[in-house]
Chains A and B, each alone.
Chain A
Amino acid sequence: MSLIKAATGLYNWIERRLGIGGPSIDAATHPIPRSSASWMYVFGSAATVLLVLQVVTGILLALTYTPSAGDAWQSLQLLNHEVPLGWLLRAIHGWGSDFMIAIVLIHMVQVFMFGAYKYPRELTWILGVFLLLMTLGMAFTGQVLRFDQDAYWGLGIGASITSRMPFIGGPMVHVLLGGPIIAAQTLSRFFALHVFVIPGLLIAFAGLHILMVLRLGVNEWPMPGRLVSKATYDAEYAELTHKDGVPFLPDAAWKDAVFSAFILLAVLACALVFGPFGPGGQPDPTIIETAPRPDFAFLWLYAVLAYLPPELETPFLFTAPVLAIGAMLALPLIAPTGEKHWSRRPIAVLMVTVIAVALGTFTKLGTYTPWSPIMSAWSAQATPAQYLNGRSPLERQGAIVLQNKQCRNCHALGGVGGQRGPALDSIATRMTEDQMIRQVVQGGGNMPAYGKALSADETHALVAFLKTLRGPDNGAPATDASRSLTQVEQPASPAENH
């Protein structure tokens, strides 16, 4: 009994001087609409918990990590293999990052679909947009700190994009890299960003974001037809919370807590099962046998950069982000009132669907990069045996030319090889001999010209081999429609025109 009395006394002594206990209890038990104590409202708190996890694991990693270009990769090896449980801390930090991006995006979609960005929560949304950008900024700078080949060449991509800025591109590259090349100063810059600048802003913005949620109240569950009007909303919300409200703690808080615990366990499970991310090969710029690839969160961007036509690339890189971020920031200012319910906002539903499908498709493409030549296909993948059976010596010589001249780095045979150009399994049903010779010698349509790299005999043999590739069902060879028209005595049969 006296122990409880002593504890209460200590609390009262501190509370008399510090005075944050009472306001904290008031904030935790603030009334929210009964409908908002829902499993749909747990993502914001889960993102906050993940932020705390990232800060704690990040500090722990900093105990071992060496932010020096010459030593960073070695210190990651030390973490992975020497420091007890270092691998697990790296894995939790890495998976925590992926989970944080996912939860922040889900939180954003939920807020958008529920119209929670409308009056009076416009500024909460705007700060949330910055929180999303900073979360992605943490993911990118974190990928740089995992100082391996992907990080090194990823910085090269960043420098190359920066250099496309009009007028100030050149100096800006040097500001980004901290010098003329990707080296020690570059890593130190990104270390400062990842450890001091962005986390400081992120914690400050997240604090303001949560403060505004407390001040303005948790969004009510939208009802079709219940429109937001600046004149009446405050009174309506006060009635919802005070007549029919429930205290956030405990009525809603237990769901937040259960979901956060579930997410933390999921991060831990992924970390235990899949382990830490890399590091990949050491960041030696003279090892050029590498195919750099960004982390999962940026694969969609990698795909977009591959598919943009060259003449659109620079304009796109400097207008699309401005427009996209501008649109997200302007959203609550353009549509602060009106319908909140998703069933009455078809364009909002369509936008989320289209953006999700587009990001998903580009991410999927980014996982297997069909636009990249497969650098080893010419020497590592044999010509399928069935394509050599019954071929003449000349045709087989052509198959050797096709292998030796790296054609398969971009063209697949039997489903194996690059996908940069079309697969060649049935090329003879689509192109005539003349067309094939022209395409090989002169190139075009995104294919280099091989006129200098092939002798006339090699071209002759190559095309002889290509003419035998007519697909699994041995389709009809392609014909030149105009040639048959010139043969007036033999009118072209309709089938040949296809």
Chain B
Amino acid sequence: MTTPHEPTGAPVSVEPKGSAPDPSRRAFLFKLSVALNGVVGAVLAVPVIGYLLGPALKRDDQYKSWVPLGGVNDFPEGETRLVDFVNPVKTSSDGMTAKVSAWVRRIQGDKFQVFAINCAHLGCPVRWFPQSRLFMCPCHGGAYYEDGSRASGPPERGLFEYQYEVQNGKLLIHAGQMPTLSNEACDKKPRPLTQIEPAAAADERTEA
């Protein structure tokens, strides 16, 4: 047992007497072995860290691809409908978690808005209320207008919107990752948020 007050200073030499080869040689060999293990450790760290950070090293567009959501005429004009699709990036053990939901708003003709299900505040699933033309979030009470713009509550911006395309009468969206403030659903570079978006006033919003 060591006492709390140990003498400090140079370590005591415990070399056996007699046949002592050059001590500096053994000290050098020990230092060399430490350095060798340092190098081996650094080499091993490369695959370990690379493996851990693997998911972060992919670019966003490597996760995304065009996903069909159905025929354009499955979505009545002026209405907002819930759709499910299977995430383009999935594994065999994902089970039901490979599915993703989104809100499709058909404004008119080929004009759509496709909103992520995730609230822009903390990612909970927002619900559409056609009567009051609002999206409401069950977690912390965020609310959005039918065009996805922020109405009230803790979200600092409007709903995330997927990029969409209409091809041969089919609606496709560019999807593949959970949208968050840093990984937005659309492919535009996320602009740094410098200011909270004010709740959109009724007359400023786009016409339905």
Which of these, B139, B176, B182, B201, contacts A163 with CB under 8 Å? B182
Contact A185 B55 (CB under 8 A): yes
Contact of B140 among A183, A305, A443, A450 (CB under 8 A): A305
B118 contacts A156, C-beta separation under 8 Å = yes
Binds B, one of A67-75, A84-92, A343-351: A67-75
The contact size tier of chain A is 35 or more
Which of chain A's residues have a CB closer than 8 A to the CB of B121? 160
Cα(A160)–Cα(B121), bound, Å: 7
Are A175 and B53 touching (Cβ within 8 A)?
Answer: yes
Most buried by A among B124, B190, B196: B124
Residues of A within 8 A of B97 (CB): 69-70, 152, 181-184, 186, 283-285
In the assembled complex, the CB of B97 is this many whole angstroms from the nearest CB of chain A, namely: 5
> Are the CB atoms of A175 and B138 closer together than 8 Å?
no
A78 within 8 Å of B (CB atoms): no
In the complex with contacts A175-B55, A288-B82, A375-B127, A181-B89 CB distance below 8 A:
yes
Chain B positions within 8 Å of A186 at CB level: 97
Q: Which residues of A contact B66 (CB under 8 A)?
A: none
Determine how close the nearest CB of chain A comes to the CB of B194; give it in whole angstroms: 11
| Complex CA–CA separation, A104 to B84 (angstroms) | 44
Tally of chain B residues near chain A (CB < 8 A): 69
Q: Which residues of A302-318 are within 8 A (CB) of B?
A: 305-306, 308, 310-311, 313
Chain B residues, CB < 8 A from A182: 97, 178
Minimal Cβ-Cβ distance residue in B for A401: B131
Query: With a CB–CB cut-off of 8 A, which chain B residues contact A292?
Result: 124, 138-139
- A82 proximal to B (CB < 8 A): no
A443 and B125 contacting across the interface, CB-CB below 8 Å: no
Docked complex Cα distance between A234 and B127 (Å)? 64
CB neighbors of A among B45-68 (8 A):
52-53, 55-58, 60, 63
- Determine whether the beta carbon of B145 is less than 8 Å from that of A180: no
Picked from A234, A404, A450, the residue with its CB within 8 Å of the CB of B4 is A234
Interface string of B179-207 (1 = CB under 8 A from A): 01111000000100000100111110100
A175 touching B201, Cβ below 8 Å:
no
The 8 A CB mask of A181-196 against B (1 = contact, 0 = none) is: 1111110000000000
| A477 is an interface residue with CB less than 8 A from chain B | no
- Indicate which residue in B58, B95, B136, B138 contacts A174 across the interface (CB closer than 8 Å): B58
Per-residue CB contact flags for chain B residues 72-107 toward chain A (1 = under 8 Å, else 0) read: 000000000010100101110111111111000000
Q: Is A161 a contact of B199 with CB atoms below 8 Å? A: no
A406 nearest CB neighbor, chain B only? B132
B200 → A minimal CB distance (Å): 8
Q: Judge whether A170 is part of the interface by a CB distance below 8 angstroms.
A: yes
In the complex, chain B residues whose CB is within 8 Å of the CB of A444? 199
B146 at the interface (CB under 8 A from A): yes
Whether B113 sits at the interface, judged by CB under 8 Å, is: no
- Decide: A156 and B122 in contact? CB cutoff 8 A: yes
Segment touching A, from B14-22, B28-36, B150-158, B165-173: B150-158
**Interchain CB contact under 8 A, B140 and A404:** no
The contact of B183 among A170, A311, A372, by CB within 8 Å, is: A170
Decide if B101 touches A163 in the complex (CB within 8 Å): no
Residues in chain B near residue A282, CB distance under 8 A: 96
Q: For residue B192, which residue of chain A has the nearest CB? A: A166
Q: Which residue of A lies closest to B190 (CB)?
A: A170
Q: Does A326 contact B (CB under 8 A)?
A: no
In the complex, A60→B47 CA distance in Å? 33
Contact of B146 with A452 in the complex, beta carbons under 8 Å: yes
**Inter-chain contacts of A420 with B (CB < 8 A):** 141
Q: Which of B52, B117, B122, B138 contacts A161 (CB 8 A)?
A: B122
Are A453 and B134 neighbours in the complex by a CB distance under 8 Å? Answer: yes
Which 7 A-B pairs give the minimum distances between C-beta atoms?
A: A70-B95, A451-B202, A180-B177, A163-B180, A171-B56, A156-B123, A448-B151
Besides the known contacts A69-B94, A171-B53, 5 further A-B residue pairs in the complex with CB atoms under 8 A apart = A153-B123, A156-B124, A160-B121, A181-B177, A409-B129
Using CB atoms and an 8 Å cutoff, list the residues of chain A in contact with chain B: 68-71, 120, 152-153, 156-157, 159-165, 169-175, 177-186, 234, 282-286, 288-292, 305-306, 308, 310-311, 313, 371-373, 375, 378, 404-407, 409-410, 420, 441-444, 446-453
